[in-house]
Chain A
Amino acid sequence: KAGVTQTPRYLIKTRGQQVTLSCSPISGHRSVSWYQQTPGQGLQFLFEYFSETQRNKGNFPGRFSGRQFSNSRSEMNVSTLELGDSALYLCASSVGTGDSTGELFFGEGSRLTVL
């Protein structure tokens, strides 16, 4: 069974640009959540999607947005990039329903560098 796939793995952008990151969950998983990891702030929750609906949202500005498609794949977008957005963005999937004890399965992450 394939794991969680994130693309791209590495990318470099400049301030003011926007970026879209993609996540394909494990087959059969309907919940996808996103986390930002930085040395200073650690792992911070961005948002969670289930059946194309945002179910939870963390404390990030509106520049950070996401969506989920009918095949459970998810994208997150960051607009008007700032230097502080440089981070490893992790996607995680889980079954999401009827399995409330289930752990999250993480992808390898997308490392974003903003210059």
Chain B
Amino acid sequence: AQSVAQPEDQVNVAEGNPLTVKCTYSVSGNPYLFWYVQYPNRGLQFLLKYITGDNLVKGSYGFEAEFNKSQTSFHLKKPSALVSDSALYFCAARRGSTLGRLYFGRGTQLTVWP
């Protein structure tokens, strides 16, 4: 079975500090990996994706993610957190052959305190 795990339900970090939101996956083949963010009562907004190539991918709003094939991980990072980054973050994976179907993690609530 395909699955994505986000081991932390909550991450709290002080503004200005670096943040990491963890994600591991168990998806066959060479999956495509994504991060999305969700603000209260809103849909999901795309942040970044990894398809192939450089293991460090850069995305929107200063976020980046590091792909590690041996550890089957795709952790989201930001060098300096902002209060406005507080939101619910979802990691997702897709098998290349199944267009449109994403396997989501349970989400990590990020709180950045001033």
Q: Which A residues fall within an 8 A CB radius of B?
A: 4, 6, 31-33, 35, 42-43, 45, 48, 50, 55-56, 58, 90, 92, 94, 96-97, 100-101, 103-109, 111
Contacts and interface: CB of A to CB of B under 8 A. Distances in A.
A45 B100 CA distance: 9
Contact of B100 (A94, A101, A109): A94
Contacts, number: 65
Interface string B18-59: 000000000000001010100001111110010100000000
Interface in B78-107: 90, 96, 98-107
22 contacts: A4-B43, A31-B99, A32-B100, A33-B100, A33-B102, A35-B104, A42-B106, A43-B102, A43-B104, A43-B107, A48-B101, A50-B99, A56-B100, A90-B44, A94-B99, A96-B100, A101-B32, A101-B49, A104-B46, A106-B36, A108-B42, A109-B43
